[in-house]
Structure 1
Amino acid sequence: MEGQTGPMRVLVTGGSGLVGRAIERVVKEEGGAREGEEWIFLSSKDADLTNASETKAVFEKHRPTHVLHLAAMVGGLFRNLRENYDFLRKNLAINDNVLHTAHEFNVVKVVSCLSTCIFPDNTTYPIDETMVHRGPPHSSNFGYAYAKRMLDVYNRAYFEQHGRLYTSIIPTNVFGPHDNFNIEDGHVLPALIHKAHIAKRNGTALEVWGSGRALRQFIYSLDLARLCLWVLREYDEVEPIMLSVGEEEEISIKDVVDIIVKASEFTGPVIYDASKSDGQLKKTASNAKLRRYRPDFSFTPFHKAIKETCDWFEANYDSARK
């Protein structure tokens, strides 16, 4: 890559989160790292990235050539509704500090992580990379969404003014080992796995919030990790790239529940509380751009990935985030 001599030294922000842990596993256990490469996984204990001097100190210490920027203040639907100002301000600060410091330290490439929830609320489907800024995001999480959208704006500005190859990925709903399985503030899939665990243990019904009709595309954290390595090494566009299974893999929450029930061997009744919100009924994303680059990439079958996640949660119940 241009301007790059010698092995990569990769700094992963948010290194102890769902995606960071998956990348660490791919790098360390699947031979994802190449010879001479150095991988540094940062957690929030290592530096407060909302603080410019702490961000600078951590770059000074590790001197990365590449950055995978996963760190963010995140939360589920109900926390976003309560704290839009905090989500906006903290994520803007994190992103400004990480990108500005990367630029100052002459980092060759930064790959930042966006989210499909940043897309316009009123849109046509499927959504793709060109539609990020075409209208306001859903009102429930506008703070987080605008802060994440600004990463794309930063990337374009750094490229135009400084020739930097800073880019971003947009994964669909990520799940896997080391997720946050909190029932109140977590995302739908890990929350359901946790609920199924409790219902099985207590011999009670599994209660699902909403009708189960909503459709989602899910990506297994280990598949996303493998694709992150490819983006870091091979993808040379400033424009973002959607990392997702195909539109035909879109699945209803009800089907997800059935697969979790089977994987966790839960035999009790399942009740749907339709008085609770379904959220957006669909957010269908196109992975056509990814398929142009990687027609060969094979995703882990959904039921297998769910089974691995359920088994991990059972085995690590005491230490899992919940």
Structure 2
Amino acid sequence: MVKEVTLVTGGSGLVGKGIEKILETDSLPDEEWIFLSSKDANLLSESETEAVFEKYRPTRVLHLAAQVGGLFANMKANCDFLRNNMKMNDNILAMSHKYNVKKVVSCLSTCIFPDKTTYPIDETMLHNGPPHDSNFGYSYAKRMIDVINRGYYEQYGCQFTSVIPCNVFGPHDNFNIQQGHVIPGLMHKAYKAQQDGTAFQIWGTGAPLRQFIYSLDLARLFIWVLREYQEIEPIILATEEEISIKDVAFKILEAFEFKGGVEFLTDKADGQFKKTASNTKLRKYLPEFKFTPIDVAIKETVEWFKANHETCRK
């Protein structure tokens, strides 16, 4: 039996761990999965990236690795986010072409869409205007994956595609308050406030709206895209539900059974108010897919964080 060898970059991160979990019950006999971490190779290095491809000879690649961070991390280092992600993405796609990888699925994000736009956003609107100033470096680097995918397809016939998830959270997330995304950052702050007996602080007004997807749901969808999705154009992977940062914060506090005070630091930036993404294309393919309710997903993530507080990324 000839096996499909799938190389997962960023395999020790949030989504990679989610895929690993789903494969415990959804693996196929003709599939071999290799989950890379930063310890295996520095993907900013062309030579180290090539060494990985030479070693494993993958037939498919899930490209999850990236330099990522929350609002304030992006605002402080847009140049680094641009340059490092561009280098990494180019190395992965160049080696995928050189080693005749049959399919590559790269991970983008809804935060890279134009700041000034109409809603809901869909896949055709990705390049219609500049992204929000707060994360322009990350956004342009990720947008270029879609551009270069098209280039590889038109010039060489490569099946390189991408997915655009909304805000992902779940077990194995980065719970760093300064550098992590909103839900894991709020969870860590809630944990610290509960331990210290202090007020829980929400940066900004809490008014911005976001769509969130549980990492295990996204993992199931990633596996489907790898196995079944045939388009080069990207596909948005998002829930229908929008929820404010304030409401998310209070769901987190409920999961922690937090009894202390709550403060809104309204002198802090809110970032983009909304970025509603349409999942019409996804529903065309998977009309019956059921997303985990956000209350359940938050509760499961809080329980994982408490159980793994000493060793998780924070």
Fold match by TM threshold 0.5: yes
| Residues in 2 aligned to 1:292 and 1:267: alpha-carbon distance in whole angstroms | 44
The letter of the residue matching 1:254 is: K
The letter of the residue matching 1:136 is: P
Specify the alignment match of 2:206 in structure 1: 212
Query: Structure 2 residue aligned with 1:18, among 14, 18, 38?
Result: 14
> Which 5+ residue runs of structure 2 have no aligned equivalent?
none
| Residues in 2 aligned to 1:84 and 1:194: alpha-carbon distance in whole angstroms | 24
Specify the alignment match of 1:282 in structure 2: 274
Conservation of the 8 A alpha-carbon contact between 2:217 and 2:291: yes
The letter of the residue matching 2:244 is: S
| Residues in 2 aligned to 1:313 and 1:18: alpha-carbon distance in whole angstroms | 13
Query: Structure 2 residue aligned with 1:9, among 5, 15, 23?
Result: 5
Query: Is the partner of 1:211 in helix, strand or coil?
Result: coil
Query: Is the partner of 1:231 in helix, strand or coil?
Result: helix
**TM alignment of 1:1-322, pairs within 5 A:** 6-27=2-23, 29=24, 31-246=25-240, 249-322=241-314
| Residues in 2 aligned to 1:314 and 1:74: alpha-carbon distance in whole angstroms | 23
| Residues in 2 aligned to 1:168 and 1:255: alpha-carbon distance in whole angstroms | 30
| Residues in 2 aligned to 1:116 and 1:202: alpha-carbon distance in whole angstroms | 35
After superposing on structure 2, the runs of 4+ consecutive aligned residues of structure 1 that deviate more than 3 Å are none
Query: Is the partner of 2:26 in helix, strand or coil?
Result: coil
| Residues in 2 aligned to 1:78 and 1:200: alpha-carbon distance in whole angstroms | 24
| Residues in 1 aligned to 2:79 and 2:201: alpha-carbon distance in whole angstroms | 32
Shift of 1:7: 2.6
| Residues in 1 aligned to 2:264 and 2:36: alpha-carbon distance in whole angstroms | 40
Q: Between the two proteins, what is the percent identity of the paired residues? A: 65
Shift of 1:164: 1.0
Shift of 1:6: 2.9
- Residue deviations 1:157-198 (CA, integer Å, cap 9, x gap): 111111111100000000000111111121111111111111
| TM-score normalized by the length of structure 2 | 0.98
| Residues in 2 aligned to 1:184 and 1:93: alpha-carbon distance in whole angstroms | 24
The letter of the residue matching 1:76 is: G
Q: How many pairs align?
A: 314
Shift of 1:57: 0.5
> Which 5+ residue runs of structure 1 have no aligned equivalent?
none
The letter of the residue matching 1:58 is: V
Shift of 1:82: 1.8
Shift of 1:301: 0.7
The letter of the residue matching 2:101 is: V
| Residues in 1 aligned to 2:83 and 2:203: alpha-carbon distance in whole angstroms | 30
| Residues in 1 aligned to 2:235 and 2:30: alpha-carbon distance in whole angstroms | 28
| Residues in 1 aligned to 2:93 and 2:54: alpha-carbon distance in whole angstroms | 14
Shift of 1:253: 1.1
Query: Is the partner of 2:39 in helix, strand or coil?
Result: coil
The letter of the residue matching 1:78 is: F
The letter of the residue matching 1:168 is: S
| Residues in 1 aligned to 2:210 and 2:110: alpha-carbon distance in whole angstroms | 11
Shift of 1:14: 0.5
| Residues in 2 aligned to 1:120 and 1:11: alpha-carbon distance in whole angstroms | 31
Conservation of the 8 A alpha-carbon contact between 2:103 and 2:160: yes
The letter of the residue matching 1:124 is: T
Query: Is the partner of 1:39 in helix, strand or coil?
Result: strand
The letter of the residue matching 1:19 is: V
Shift of 1:200: 1.1
Shift of 1:108: 0.4
Query: Is the partner of 1:123 in helix, strand or coil?
Result: coil
- Residue deviations 1:1-52 (CA, integer Å, cap 9, x gap): xxxx83311000000111111111111x2x2210131100001110111111
| Residues in 1 aligned to 2:186 and 2:121: alpha-carbon distance in whole angstroms | 26
